[in-house]
Amino acid sequence: PKNKGKTSSLKEQCLRYFTPREVANLHSFPKDFQFPKHISLRQRYAMLGNSLSVAVVAPLLQYMFANRHDFSAQELH
């Protein structure tokens, strides 16, 4: 396989990749969230990698809307 050297190196160092479930937990997905069976492992990692953590984004948006006068167009460019 393409990543065979990387995987064996991880095992030698007693390291491993996060599972999709662990990544979903980090992104605050509900505990009962499951991917449909037909979604491959690679697709799961890609989808999770393209997602945003609601637990992180929500407070940022709340702060920005509460302080929107501080975010003028000139300051953002």
- The sign of the CA dihedral 25, 27, 28, 32 is negative
Question: How many Å apart are CA 28 and CA 22, to the nearest integer?
Answer: 10
CATH of domain 19-76: 3.90.120.10
Give pLDDT, residue 10: 79
* pLDDT for the residue 25: 94
- Please give the backbone phi and psi of residue 75, each rounded to the nearest 5 degrees, phi first: -70, -25
What pLDDT score does 12 carry? 86
Please choose, from the candidates 57, 50, 49, the residue with its C-alpha nearest in 3D space to the C-alpha of residue 17.
Answer: 49
Positions in the chain short of pLDDT 50 = none
Residue 20: the pLDDT is 97
Encoded tokens for 24: 């979903």
Tell me the C-alpha distance between 8 and 50, whole Å. Answer: 27
At 41 the pLDDT is 97
